[in-house]
Amino acid sequence: MSANTVPCVIIEHKDQVSWIQLNRPATLNAVNSDIVEGLITGLDEALAQQSQLVILYGAGKAFSAGFDLGALDEQSDADLLHRFVRVETLLQKLYTLPVTSLALVHGRCFGAAADMVAACRHRIATNDASFRMPGLQFGIVLGTRRLGRLIGDDAALSLLETSRIFTAQEAFDCGFITQIAAKDDWPAIAASKAADAAALSIQAKATLLEKTRDDSALDSDMAALVRSASAPGLADRIRHFVNTQVKK
């Protein structure tokens, strides 16, 4: 990366809080490989820094439009499989993080980005935020069990079987987000969450997760993702999905 290149992920550590910004505003922070690897690096750094709180947020007009579907003609099924495996690796790292996590969402939050939000402990969105999880439309099983655990099987089925866009109010009503708040209120909310997060050490939080949550199915989640993504024709299925959306 040259000195003049703006990073896709901006990481700041201050006062035991790690702020991690998705920074591809021109693409609505579409999740490409650089964003995934940058987020993984940010989470690793947060642990190394002994941060008490990790905050994810997006630059520009949206949290993220989701998995970057650009340049599909240049990517093989194997390339896309690897990308989805790295996304699931990121999601599992975020989900099992022994550090309090907070997602601050505005604008679109689609696909893999919505899965990131679902993996966070606290999930706050502006009133105009919108969400969508369309992976099953092109045969990708990503975050499905975790979503069912978060909002209940019936609610997850309702959202996933149609891949419909749902509003911040709908997200709050089903438990997908934990609070609706304007961006002006985010600094005070972050400060409050940081104060709460400081009550336990990272080791104590890890123990709390271990004793209050059964995460034995994480390997099964990865296996389900790999099985779905390794089915022949992944690139063609995604191209068909993209073309279908353009025609709507």
Query: pLDDT tens digits, residue range 6-41?
Result: 899 999 999 999 999 999 999 999 999 999 999 999
Helix (H, G, I), strand (E, B) or coil at 182: coil
In sequence order, what are the residues at sequence separation of 6 or more whose Cβ sits closer than 8 angstroms to the Cβ of residue 78? none
CATH topology of domain 9-184: 2-enoyl-CoA Hydratase; Chain A, domain 1 (3.90.226)
- Sequence ranges of the domains in the chain: 9-184
- Which residues, listed in sequence order, are joined to residue 21 by a DSSP beta bridge? 10, 57
pTM: 0.95
Q: Provide the phi-psi class of 7: left if phi over 0, else alpha when psi is between -120 and 50, else beta.
A: beta
The pLDDT-based confidence of 248 (bands split at 50, 70, 90) is: low
Mean pLDDT of 70-76: 89
The pLDDT-based confidence of 185 (bands split at 50, 70, 90) is: very high
Share of the chain above pLDDT 90, in %: 93
Mean pLDDT of 45-59: 97
